[in-house]
Amino acid sequence: MNKLLALTLLAISYTHHANADTLLQTVDQEGDFKTFLQAVKTAGLESTLNEKGPITLFAPNDAAFAKLPKAKLKALMANPAELKKVLSYHIYPGKITSADVSAGKVKSLEGADLKLTVGDGVKVENVKVIGDEINADNGVIHTMSAVLIPKG
């Protein structure tokens, strides 16, 4: 009986991991987005990152959040409405892969334009995209080297 229970739990664990294909689940599994994931939960954006998509997520990693002044990060995390605005600025409701990114503007979920440049590597609002893109069933994740803050 214990072997059967252990095998069942192992199968459930493996199945959960194998089926974790949404942007939210992928970010959770990557391990370098703990602050981003906490911010998404605080802002109530989990369902957005689990939607059908396609969605492009410009996700700041933990090092990017660490660049913010501690007081600014603390204030953002204490204000879910402002945090939602900032995080929505990192989401484009469509799919932009590394292969098809081009210079220009795209409208973020927050409503403001995001300026993309490709001259010296891919940049969003002059913030460098680092590493390879990470694919999920409902979109793609590009790791940002800093947190994008919407103007105004």
Residue 6: which pLDDT band, with cuts at 50, 70 and 90? very low
DSSP for 97-138, written as a single string? -TTT--SEEEE-TTSSEEEEE-BTB-EETTEEEEEEEEEETT
User: What are the residue boundaries of the structural domains of the chain, listed by start?
Assistant: 21-144
Q: Is the pLDDT of residue 18 over 60?
A: no
pLDDT tens for each residue of 63-103: 999 999 999 999 999 999 999 999 999 999 999 998 889 99
- Protein fold of 21-144: FAS1 domain (2.30.180)
CA distance linking residue 112 with residue 116, whole number of Å: 13
